[in-house]
Amino acid sequence: MKKRILAVFTSFCLLFVSCWSYSCSDALAKSAPKLCSKSFMLVAGGKQTVKLTGGKGSWSIADESVAKISSSGSDSAVVVPVKAGKTTLSCSVGSRTLSCSVNVLNNEVGSPKDMFGPDDPGIYMFTGMVMEMDYVDKSTAANPGISIAMDDDDEEYDFEEDEYEDDDDEAGSADEPIKAVGHDPNYFSCSEKNGVTRFKALHAGKTSIEIVYVSGREQSYPVVIINPLRGKTKVKNTTANYRKWRNKWIKDYMSPDTTTWELIEGIGYLGNSGTYKLTKKKPTPQLFWYKGIGTCASGARLFTDFLKTVGVYSRVHSAKYDWGGEDIFEYNIMYGSDHKNAQIKLGGKKYTINSQPENMWPVGILEGWE
């Protein structure tokens, strides 16, 4: 009889403790509101939605000259950029105040024309690369003109050597003597020896090399410098490491004067720098970053992941639906049921973008998709 009473009493205690634990944990969950993000980035033309769980709150922005709340409810707020800078989004839930850091990276959306097209004399390099340019100071005997060679001068990465030559047949061609070469020291370090100038790419972003010929004619060569995919680094293949690299890549590339379309151009070059190769594993952005190999789906997913990170609407889309519209560069959009493109909404317009690795031009753009 005593054993039976003891068993009943024990069962009652366990049931009581269980109920008490559930009530406490439930109450604790309700008393612990949380924001879905502690920080986020924004570019001009983008927007980010921050959600609140575990309560209802009211929202505010510390500096509305940097970002503002375009719409809000008791459990979410939509934030849009105003100008480059940092501020804080706050959510008041009862006596508690939750906060989220907001980093607006640039000031202007720009236009697709901010990118240089296939016929422009543009160059793209990786940080750490060295570009050599031969020129003479005076118009004398035979002159090699512009002869630009890319060499890897960074032990961390391994790149193939490329050569670029100006073969313009008009005045100011490769046979025209060059008087001087200018550069932005924020992006290049410069050294000169025996008429050869070496430019080492220091910082990601878009800049230019300025050529002044003896004749007085000037020529500007746009240069896009990007941080490469993982390269030879020994970082582990983890989601956290991929996201850390992605966020750093974006911050390094951007400045307040960099337009959102120039960012799109830079991401296009990043995808173009990979090697096209079918993989047994799903072509994710993380695998593309880690191995440097992938397909059209890899490029499109990397592209959309980067843009979503800064608040630009983007998705991966089957190219079989992309017929129609106008290709800004007159070619380079690919069609077919097995091809994947990236699609974005920016500046009130819709665009289709071909971001396939090793594409003949990094970003083919199609306007007007529905």
Residues 136 and 65 in one domain: no
Confidence of residue 242 (pLDDT cuts 50, 70, 90): very high
**Residue 363, C-beta contacts closer than 8 angstroms, at least 6 positions apart:** 115, 264, 265, 268, 332, 353, 354, 355
Asked whether residue 23 is assigned to any structural domain, the reply reads no
CATH number for the domain that contains residue 194: 2.60.40
Q: Using a pLDDT cut of 70, give the percent of the chain over it.
A: 70
**331 and 247 fall within a common domain:** yes
* The pLDDT value given to residue 117: 66
pLDDT for 167 equals: 39
Clarify whether residues 80 and 40 are in a common domain.
yes
Domain presence at residue 198: yes
Per-residue pLDDT band for 248 (boundaries 50, 70, 90) equals very high
Residue 7 forms part of a structural domain: no
CA distance 198 to 192: 6
Pair (247, 363) in one structural domain: yes
Over residues 104-117, mean pLDDT: 86
The CATH number covering residue 38 comes to 2.60.40.1080
- Average pLDDT value over all residues in the chain: 78
What secondary structure does DSSP assign to 126-159, as a single string? Answer: ETTEEEEEE--SSS-S-----EEEEEE--TT---
Q: Which domain holds residue 176?
A: 128-226
Rounded mean pLDDT, 50-63:
95
d(CA 369, CA 170): 39
Whether residue 113 is contained in a domain is answered as no
Tell me the C-alpha to C-alpha distance, in Å, between residue 269 and each of 59, 226, 308: 38, 8, 18
Burial class (CB in 10 A: 0-12, 13-18, 19+), 197: buried
Secondary structure of 322-359 in HEC code, one letter for each residue:
CCCCEECCCCCCCCCCCCEEEEEEECCEEEEEECCCCC
Please choose, from the candidates 183, 149, 143, 147, the residue with its C-alpha nearest in 3D space to the C-alpha of residue 167: 147
Residue 161 lies in a domain: yes
**Confidence grade of residue 291 (pLDDT, cut at 50, 70, 90):** very high
| Contacts (Cβ under 8 Å, ≥6 apart) of 106 | 43, 44, 84, 254, 255, 256, 257, 258, 259, 260, 263
Q: Which two tokens mark 113?
A: 């024309």
- Cα distance between the two ends of the chain: 78
* 54/171 same-domain check: no
Asked which of 89, 104, 119 is the last residue of a domain, the reply is: 104
Same-domain status, 221 and 318: no
Q: Residue 47 gets which letter from DSSP?
A: -
Does residue 47 surpass a pLDDT of 90? yes
- pLDDT above 90 coverage of the chain, percent: 39
Domain match, 219 and 292 both: no
- Kindly state whether residue 71 falls inside one of the protein's structural domains: yes
Q: Please compute the mean of the pLDDT values over residues 287-308 and round it to a whole number.
A: 93
Q: Is residue 21 part of a domain?
A: no
Q: Are residues 276 and 361 in the same domain?
A: yes
What confidence tier does 151 reach under pLDDT thresholds 50, 70, 90?
A: low
Residue with the larger pLDDT of the pair 215 and 290: 290
Find the helix or strand (DSSP H, E) in which 7 lies.
helix 2-30
How many independent structural domains does the chain possess?
3
Contact 326, 278 (CB under 8 A): no
Give the three-state DSSP class for 294. strand
**CA 329, 334, 340 angle in degrees (round to 5)?**
120
Is the model more confident about 295 or about 162?
Answer: 295
Instruction: Give Dmax (Cα) for the chain.
Output: 118
Predicted confidence (pLDDT) at residue 229 exceeds the cutoff of 60: yes
Q: Select from 104, 139, 163 the last residue of a domain.
A: 104
Q: Are residues 208 and 252 in the same domain?
A: no
